[in-house]
Amino acid sequence: MATRQVAIVCVCCALIVGASSSVSAVMIDAFTDRLPPNPDLPGSGWQILFVGTVWDPVGQYVTHPVSDAASQSSLPGVLAGDRHVEIYYVSGTASASVLNGLFFNNDVGGRSTLELYYGMNEDLNADLTVYAGTQLEINVLDGDMSSGPRPLPCTVTVTSCKGTPQEATASVTLDLIGNGVYAYPFTGFPGVDFADVDALRVVVDASQASAVDVLIGSFETDGDSVPTQSSTWGQIKWLWE
């Protein structure tokens, strides 16, 4: 009996070690948590943000001439659960939605800027160096940025150690020109302590190229994805102009 108990313990230990060895990344946003229904589109209930003019099935055109935004909390697929998304008008009509990815759409003549913010209301206090993390990654699944071509600048800004003498903020911009994983090495953010990241901001700038569409699958560190802590939908705060 004693021999059997030892064997079981050894097998369990082996399983635990095997599971932990596969952990090598932090998921910042899996883009699996949809945006809430837009309160300005009661007829359709569309879960989008938009700028410009959209037809609502109740029988009216709705216009957002400046911006549209949503702040959400307790999202299962987001680091620390909180995400703020905002879209800014430049021309035409543009929208953003989340459904198995973040879809940023600019109609013909549409130009806009999309911003994602993590840690807006409360510091993330996230250690992104765990599991030997060395870079941030934005995974582009689809888009039409190569038509023209018309690269889409994507800027990632990181703030660490907020409220201390060591506080630092740095940004890196890459041009999204097609499908693939875009790497933002930690070493490209001078002064930032990735063991104590308090805020992350992503800006996708479609202000200079008309009618650009892009589908982003995830925002994470390098390696195999780690599920974020599961929780329920929380308070939704809408901001719009």
| Residue range 101-120, pLDDT digits in tens | 999 999 999 999 999 999 99
- pTM of this prediction exceeds 0.85: no
**CATH architecture of the region 24-240:** Sandwich (2.60)
- The mean pLDDT value of the chain amounts to 86
Task: State yes or no: pLDDT of 28 exceeds 70.
Answer: yes
Q: What single DSSP character describes residue 208?
A: S
For 214-225, letters b (16+ CB in 10 Å) and e give bbbbbbbbbbee
Q: How far apart are CA 138 and CA 141, in angstroms?
A: 10
Write out pLDDT tens, residues 82-100.
Answer: 999 999 999 999 999 999 9
Beta strands in 35-107 (DSSP E): 48-56, 60-64, 67-72, 83-91, 94-98, 102-106
The per-residue pLDDT for 57 is: 86
Which band of pLDDT confidence, cut at 50, 70 and 90, is reported for residue 228?
low
Task: State yes or no: pLDDT of 186 exceeds 70.
Answer: yes
Which structure tokens are listed for 184? 């933002």
The per-residue pLDDT for 156 is: 98
* Per-residue CA distances from 58 to 40, 44, 55, 144 (Å): 11, 8, 9, 32
Please report, for the chain, the start and end positions of each structural domain, with discontinuous segments joined by +.
Answer: 24-240
Average pLDDT over residues 135-139: 98
Residue with tokens 């209930």: 45
Task: Output the DSSP codes for 109-147.
Answer: T-EEEEEEEESSSS---B-TTGGG--EEEEEEEEE-TTT
Average pLDDT over residues 156-172: 98
Task: State yes or no: pLDDT of 235 exceeds 60.
Answer: no
Cβ atoms < 10 Å from Cβ of 17: 9
Q: How far apart are CA 25 and CA 28, in angstroms?
A: 9
